[in-house]
Amino acid sequence: MGIREDEKIAPHCEFIHVHDKVVKRVMDVMPEGEELQNLAEFFRVFGDSTRIRILYALSQSELCVCDIASLLGMGTVCDLPPASDPEADASCQVPQGRKERSLLSCGRSHPDDPRTGDGAYRRENMKFTKMQGIGNDYVYVNCFEETVEDPCGTAKMVSDRHFGIGSDGLILIKPSRVADCQMDMYNLDGSQGAMCGNVSAALPNIAYDYGIVNKKHISVATKSGIKYLDLTVKDGKVSLVKVNMGSPILTAKQIPVVSEKEEVINEPLVVDGETYYITAVSMGNPHAIVYMADIDHLDIEKIGPSFENHVAFPDRVNTEFVEVIDEHTLKMRVWERGSGETLACGTGACAVAVASILNGHVDGDKSVTVKLLGGDLQIFWNRQENLVYMTGPATTVFDGEIDVSFLK
């Protein structure tokens, strides 16, 4: 009896052989589920033909919203004046570097704008607090009271030091079911970060001073787990914060860093044709520590991105360039993934202290002073508990409000 056409067996392998080494190598560098989900969400943005047309139009020329509406045959949100009106060009002018704003408004109200209903352009202000810990500055938003619908876009906007508030990123303080509060961190490029020590040191100022918590020992849920903080309060204000940064991760796969060895301690890595010796540590985010004789004259803008995006680091990496001063003191500069060089990095300082103890550069029984561009941090690695403690200051720069309606 013959086999009908629709019953034929689909093409298949006659010999099954799984290339274990290849599969393992790919699995080791495969992004985690959350990262894949973020990528899927990102590329979903391009699933609309109108958005593609807008992006293509902007790639050809700088355009205001009125120009784009004309190209697409759509209405505008601004009531255009006659061409002879001397204010016309000014009202539709697009600020340099802010094309994304031109997609939403030329800055003029329209009586029929459905967003307002009352003939006036309505601002949507977001309250914030800017804080800094030895120069590592972030914009903090109290999400017990505020709602941030687009944290990635908001992070890029507020971090802009010319057209925004100016910061190393955005921090959202949210309610938590497992801790006193939750911290969501976004870098200045809009990517989500896992953990920042200086952010943890600054967060209690808002949480305590603004009544989110009313105790001196608090817990904060982060993407890297729950962190515990001890507050020193003076005159009703937090003056110093000791942060339990958790246990350092040294296993290569967990950091992650691609290596044949289980731990990467003083191992060679070729970057831009030059061999460096790195020690890899994770404090909830990956760090590569490199020791040098003179970091003051380092061209970090050139070498930093090469480390950050090196194939050895599947999730990119924060890189600390370290100069050993003595057995109790270290000096460092840091290139943070997604942010570039910053004045300070708390997790980086912790990773540097751990790496320096492992490499025998400092006394592991006492606190280590880590000197950063923005100031000093005290780091102590309790080897018995396998916990790293960071002590440092945090200061409120100013409170304010900013219009985020154009992000809608």
Active site residues: 196, 345
Which has the closest alpha carbon to 152: 165, 132, 170, 168?
Answer: 170
Q: Which residues pair with 171 in a beta bridge?
A: 140, 185
Give dist(CA 290, CA 292) in Å, integer.
Answer: 7
Give dist(CA 288, CA 246) in Å, integer.
Answer: 18
Exposure b/e, 280-306, CB count within 10 A at least 16 = b: bbbbbbbbbbbbbeebeebebeebbbe
Give dist(CA 44, CA 64) in Å, integer.
Answer: 25
Please, what is the end-to-end C-alpha distance for the chain in angstroms? 66
Q: Which residues pair with 231 in a beta bridge?
A: 241
Tell me the CA distances in angstroms from 269 to 260, 272, 309, 340, 361, one per residue in order. 13, 10, 13, 20, 20
